[in-house]
Amino acid sequence: MADHPERRVPTLMDVADRAGVSAQTVSRVVNGQGPVAARTRARVMDAIGELNYVPNRLARGLARQRSLSIGFATNDISLHAPSQLASAIEGAARQAGYSLIVTIVAGYGLAPVTHALRALRERQVDGALINASLSPADAHEITARFPDLPCVFMDVPPSTGVPGALLDQALGARLGADHLLNLGHTRIACIDAPQGAVAEQARLRGWEDTLAARGLNLVARAPGDWSPASGYAATQTLLAGGVPFTALLVANDQMAVGALRALWERGVNVPADVSVVGYDDTAESALLIPPLTTVRQDFPLLGRRAFAHLHALLRGETHPPTLSTPHLVVRASTAPPPGPERQDVQAALRTLMAALTRP
């Protein structure tokens, strides 16, 4: 049997011949630059589809002295927020003719972000989006170390003064705390996130400031690492600490999943005994038992705004920092605190459980 000759890859000239236009016209359509009549554009697009023509991204980039790729330096991509952001950024970048290169930031602070950006610069990205916690000083240091790499920061304090697309973490924290206070809770505990994370610091400070305005403090606090397992362990720590609480603020929904499990195992009814408020509004939050009250953050919108900001910088335009507003989604995991009789029953149950688990 004779070998079949390799099928030739269609070129820009093939598209021009099929559409009956010049190569320059095809180039304008492909690159989205320059005026092209609607009927002509339609003929070119039909020819592109018929020939299955794929533009040579490298050649286009060389013509513009760009790689037509952007970088996304982010923490753990398995977490809800980074994965949602990456999906939104990739879609927006693709529509604008850019590819997305993702690199993981292994840790917090200046050193791991610097390492990630060096890796992206080696890939010749045109610019970078940085979804990693940085102090204002570290963010400014990044701009000094990479003066030729346009960057948009997504996890720095809003007052930092660098190009940024950010979420109003303090407002989100205040919404969750105010909700519990307005229900009548005064004994509120929290599960916060890893120290060094800007979001963790803003949420914890927002909770503390909101309670302080009512003359209250958090009665107990346990750390997590954003994962469900850490929320489970942190709740066990809070329950074992012996400090009674009627409400629990959790720094993200994934840790709240673990918290609900730990409370259920100890016979603590949510929300009759303890109300739980999460943060993020993941897709699963409405399907939990009970459905989780949480602070919704629109990560797809944030991702699109971040790319739009970076795209403007790449075109030499100025773009003011944007601050996205969260809002509270009230579901069945929150209710007024239990009355004195039920609190007495809770105390008796805690004493019994402690005795049963004591070696």
180 pLDDT band, cuts 50/70/90, is: very high
Query: Do residues 179 and 276 both lie within one domain?
Result: yes
Whether 194 is covered by a domain: the verdict is yes
Domain hosting residue 32, numbered range = 12-55
Q: Which residues, other chains included, contact 194 with Cβ-Cβ below 8 Å and sequence gap of 6+? A: 108, 200, 223, 224, 225, 226
Rounded Cα gap, residues 19 and 128, in angstroms = 37
pLDDT recorded at residue 12? 81
Whether 230 is covered by a domain: the verdict is yes
Q: How many CA atoms lie within 13 A of 114 on its CB side?
A: 11
pLDDT 10s digits, 82-141? 999 999 999 999 999 899 999 999 988 999 999 999 999 999 999 999 999 999 999 999
Query: Do residues 237 and 280 both lie within one domain?
Result: yes
pLDDT 10s digits, 137-163? 999 999 999 999 999 999 999 999 999
**Residue 136, φ and ψ in degrees, nearest 5:** -55, -40
Query: Do residues 313 and 235 both lie within one domain?
Result: no
Q: What is the 3-state secondary structure (H, E, C) of 163-194?
A: CEEEECHHHHHHHHHHHHHHHCCCCEEEEECC
Query: Do residues 246 and 203 both lie within one domain?
Result: yes
Query: Do residues 126 and 28 both lie within one domain?
Result: no
Q: What CATH number should be reported for the domain holding residue 17? A: 1.10.260.40
Whether 60 is covered by a domain: the verdict is no
Does residue 62 surpass a pLDDT of 60?
no
Pair 145, 322: CB distance under 8 Å: no
Q: Can you say whether residue 249 is alpha, beta or left, with left for phi > 0 and alpha for psi between -120 and 50 degrees?
A: beta
Q: Which tokens hold the place of 136?
A: 């204002």
Query: Do residues 233 and 121 both lie within one domain?
Result: no
Query: Average pLDDT, stretch 29-55?
Result: 81
Query: Do residues 216 and 267 both lie within one domain?
Result: yes
Q: Which tokens hold the place of 325?
A: 């507003």
Whether 1 is covered by a domain: the verdict is no
Does residue 3 surpass a pLDDT of 50?
no
Q: What is the 3-state secondary structure (H, E, C) of 215-260?
A: CCCCCEEEECCCCHHHHHHHHHHHHHCCCCCCEEEECCHHHHHHHH
Greater pLDDT, 293 or 357:
293
pLDDT recorded at residue 217? 98
Query: Do residues 317 and 175 both lie within one domain?
Result: no
Q: Based on the structure, what is the number of domains in the chain?
A: 3
Query: Do residues 99 and 175 both lie within one domain?
Result: no
173 pLDDT band, cuts 50/70/90, is: very high
Look up the pTM and report it.
0.77
pLDDT 10s digits, 237-271? 999 999 999 999 999 999 999 999 999 999 999 99
Rounded Cα gap, residues 325 and 178, in angstroms = 16
1 pLDDT band, cuts 50/70/90, is: very low
Whether 359 is covered by a domain: the verdict is no
Q: What CATH number should be reported for the domain holding residue 211? A: 3.40.50.2300
Does residue 341 surpass a pLDDT of 60?
no
Whether 6 is covered by a domain: the verdict is no
pLDDT 10s digits, 288-334? 999 999 999 999 999 999 999 999 999 898 778 889 999 999 999 99
Whether 285 is covered by a domain: the verdict is yes
Greater pLDDT, 5 or 230:
230
**What b/e sequence results for 40-71 when a residue is b if at least 16 CB atoms lie within 10 Å of its CB, and e otherwise?**
bbebbeebbeebebebeeeebbeeeeebbbbb
Query: Do residues 316 and 342 both lie within one domain?
Result: no
Query: Do residues 200 and 310 both lie within one domain?
Result: no
Query: Do residues 283 and 303 both lie within one domain?
Result: no
342 pLDDT band, cuts 50/70/90, is: low
Whether 358 is covered by a domain: the verdict is no
